């Protein structure tokens, strides 16, 4: 429920406020990693040796196989997402669409579906930037004319950023109620990306290296949990490595990271990837990874039960529990 550009800016501001300020090396691609020796090989020819290597190269990770020991290709859905932002004041002022958004509590989401109870098109909207902008995402079958633009952007490592035509958005929005279609009218700077996912992998760690974020657990954006899980990974590492200065402790701490993160991430990834499946199927799948309390089979997606599962989890507390060996 945030504008990702704002999150990036916020993270950068936090980083720059640190003393001493961490050094961010932009434009220096990692070409390879030796996970056993902790050696990072950069495209400019330099090599850096570290006790701990955190790999976070995103959905199209080239390094995931170094940790997992096998190729881990992404799965591509036949569906893509148009996405754009609309000024919230325009939406609120709209005689038909405005009423859906007036006086709503912070953090609310409004979904629209064209065919209730059957496969249909999905339009997801939520306010971001403190309610100044409305994020709009329209899930639709990938159009032939979009494929080449998406592929070209994927090749550049910007799979989510291909430009799209507002006329294509409007044609996909045709099945929606006219009040809802107005949200798509005059959309500018529309982007399109193809939905991708991986199934949970068998390990996040190998020797001195650990996978975090999308490279370790790419999931469909259905529940908006990808970045949330990446932030939880980061917090888990912060707690598990707090005060660790002995290189011999790196591997035991990474084993704890794996033990902590795989059940939680496996559950969230499965709930996200299988959101459209029958609820009992989702539960059975989730149980392959996680044996704690989960939303029941009658829980509606985006309900309080799901929100509590996602947002009441305290990763720092769980990591501390593991460090202290508490039950
Ligand atoms: C449109 C959209 C909406 C989303 N909405 C939500 C949401 O509401 N909530 C949520 O939690 N998640 C959301 N997500 C998912 C979220 O964006 C991702 O889960 C998150 O960005 C993952 O972070 P990451 O750091 O692992 O990967 P990325 O953000 O992909 O970052 C990976 C970085 O690694 C760099 N890189 C790649 N290879 C190399 C290399 N060899 N050397 C050096 N650098 C390299 C890339 O340039 C990139 O900067 C959304 C995603 C999309 C596309």
Bigger pLDDT: 306 vs 4: 306
pLDDT tens for residues 107-145? 788 888 888 767 788 899 999 998 999 999 999 999 998
Residue 29 Cα to ligand 1 midpoint, Å, equals 16
Which CATH architecture does the domain made up of 75-197 adopt?
2-Layer Sandwich (3.30)
The stretch 53-74 carries a mean pLDDT of 96
* 57 contacts: CB under 8 Å, gap ≥ 6: 30, 63, 64, 215
Atom 46, ligand 1: which residue's CA is nearest?
A: 57
Q: Is the pLDDT of residue 325 over 90?
A: no
The stretch 146-166 carries a mean pLDDT of 87
Bigger pLDDT: 157 vs 270: 270
CATH 3.40.140.10 fits 4-73+198-326, yes or no: no
Atom 51, ligand 1: which residue's CA is nearest?
A: 221
Instruction: Output the six-digit token pair for 193.
Output: 């990306």
pLDDT-derived band at 327, boundaries 50, 70, 90: low
The pLDDT value recorded for residue 106 is 72
The pLDDT value recorded for residue 180 is 85
pLDDT tens for residues 265-297? 999 999 999 988 888 999 999 999 999 999 998
The mean-pLDDT minimum among 14-28, 106-120, 160-174 falls in: 106-120
Q: Is the pLDDT of residue 1 over 80?
A: no
Q: Contact at 8 Å (CB) between 226 and 269?
A: no
For the chain, the average pLDDT equals 92
User: So where are the chain's domains?
Assistant: 4-73+198-326, 75-197
The pLDDT value recorded for residue 109 is 83
**Which residues are bridge partners to 80 per DSSP?**
140, 194
Q: Which ligand 1 atom is the nearest neighbour of the CA of 214?
A: 26
The pLDDT value recorded for residue 255 is 97
Q: Is the pLDDT of residue 211 over 90?
A: yes
The pLDDT value recorded for residue 105 is 81
Q: Is the pLDDT of residue 18 over 70?
A: yes
pTM higher than 0.85, yes or no? yes
Q: Does any ligand 1 atom lie closer than 6 A to the CB of residue 227?
A: yes
Q: Does any ligand 1 atom lie closer than 6 A to the CB of residue 166?
A: no
Residue 311 Cα to ligand 1 midpoint, Å, equals 20
Instruction: Output the six-digit token pair for 177.
Output: 């109620």
Neighbouring C-beta atoms of residue 82, cutoff 10 Å: 25
Q: Does any ligand 1 atom lie closer than 6 A to the CB of residue 222?
A: no
Q: Contact at 8 Å (CB) between 54 and 210?
A: yes
Q: Which of 159, 214, 269, 306 to mutate to test the pocket of ligand 1 (most atoms within 8 A of CB)?
A: 214
Distances in Å between the alpha carbon of 167 and those of 76, 103, 172, 175?
24, 31, 9, 14
Percent of the chain's residues with pLDDT above 90: 72
* 97 contacts: CB under 8 Å, gap ≥ 6: 91, 179, 180, 182, 183
pLDDT tens for residues 71-112? 999 999 899 999 999 999 999 999 989 999 999 887 788 888
Residue 214 Cα to ligand 1 midpoint, Å, equals 6
Q: Which ligand 1 atom is the nearest neighbour of the CA of 81?
A: 1
Q: Which ligand 1 atom is the nearest neighbour of the CA of 226?
A: 19
């Amino acid at each position: 429920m945030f504008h990702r550009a704002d999150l990036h800016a916020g993270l950068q501001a936090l980083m720059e406020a640190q003393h001493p300020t961490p050094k961010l090396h932009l434009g220096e691609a990692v070409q390879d990693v030796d996970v056993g020796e902790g050696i990072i090989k950069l495209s400019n020819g330099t090599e850096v040796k570290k006790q701990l290597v955190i790999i976070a190269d995103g959905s199209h990770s080239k390094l995931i196989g170094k940790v997992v020991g096998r190729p881990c290709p992404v799965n591509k859905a036949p569906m893509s997402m148009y996405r754009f932002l609309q000024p919230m004041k325009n939406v609120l002022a709209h005689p038909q669409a405005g009423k859906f958004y007036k006086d709503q509590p912070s953090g609310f989401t409004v979904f629209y579906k064209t065919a209730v109870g059957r496969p249909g098109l999905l339009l997801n909207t939520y306010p971001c930037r403190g309610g100044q902008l409305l994020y709009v995402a329209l899930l639709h079958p990938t159009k032939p004319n979009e494929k080449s633009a998406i592929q070209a952007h994927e090749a550049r490592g910007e799979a989510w950023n291909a430009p799209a035509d507002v006329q294509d958005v409007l044609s996909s929005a045709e099945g929606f109620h006219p009040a809802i279609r107005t949200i798509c009218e005059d959309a500018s700077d529309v982007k399109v990306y193809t939905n991708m996912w991986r199934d949970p992998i068998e390990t996040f760690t190998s020797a001195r290296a650990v996978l975090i974020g999308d490279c370790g657990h790419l999931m469909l954006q259905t529940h908006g949990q990808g970045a949330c899980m990446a932030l939880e990974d980061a917090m888990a590492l912060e707690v598990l490595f707090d005060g660790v200065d002995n290189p011999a402790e790196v591997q035991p701490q990474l084993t704890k990271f794996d033990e902590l993160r795989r059940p939680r991430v496996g559950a969230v990834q499965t709930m996200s990837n299988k959101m459209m499946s029958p609820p009992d199927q989702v539960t059975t799948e989730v149980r392959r990874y996680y044996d704690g309390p989960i939303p029941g089979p009658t829980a509606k997606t985006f309900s309080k039960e799901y929100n509590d599962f996602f947002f009441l989890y305290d990763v720092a507390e769980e990591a501390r529990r593991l460090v202290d060996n508490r039950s």
